[in-house]
């Protein structure tokens, strides 16, 4: 999985937002806000192709969170960005 080309993560006044650029503006109207942990996952998905287990590991390594909770959070995050059409599978 990897973030589609044409979407950028920006931090504005302490908030993380995803903005479309170029041709993506036509298909994705507006902005999407992310939590700090969502931004961490987004950055990993921007950098390289990764899998769900790697994203779970990132959350458990950076936050005091149980594996099961991290799995649920990653699944929800991936579902949300897939639904918005932001993810290449």
Q: At what angle do helices 52-62 and 67-83 cross, to 10 degrees?
A: 130
Range of the domain at 40: 2-88
Domain count, the chain: 1
In order along its 89 residues, the chain shows pLDDT tens digits of 999 999 999 999 999 999 999 888 888 878 899 999 999 999 999 998 899 999 999 999 999 999 999 999 999 999 999 998 899 87
User: Which CATH number fits the domain that encloses residue 55?
Assistant: 1.10.10
Question: How many Å apart are CA 16 and CA 27, to the nearest integer?
Answer: 20
Q: Is 60 exposed, middle or buried (0-12, 13-18, 19+ CB in 10 A)?
A: middle
């Amino acid at each position: 999985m990897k973030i589609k080309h044409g979407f950028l993560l920006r931090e504005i006044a302490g908030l993380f937002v995803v903005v479309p650029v170029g041709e993506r503006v036509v298909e994705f109207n507006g902005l999407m806000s992310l939590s700090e942990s969502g931004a961490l996952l987004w950055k990993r998905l921007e950098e390289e192709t990764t899998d769900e287990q790697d994203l779970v590991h990132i959350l458990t390594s950076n936050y005091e969170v149980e594996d099961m909770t991290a799995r649920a959070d990653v699944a929800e995050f991936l579902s949300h960005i897939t639904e918005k059409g932001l993810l290449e599978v």
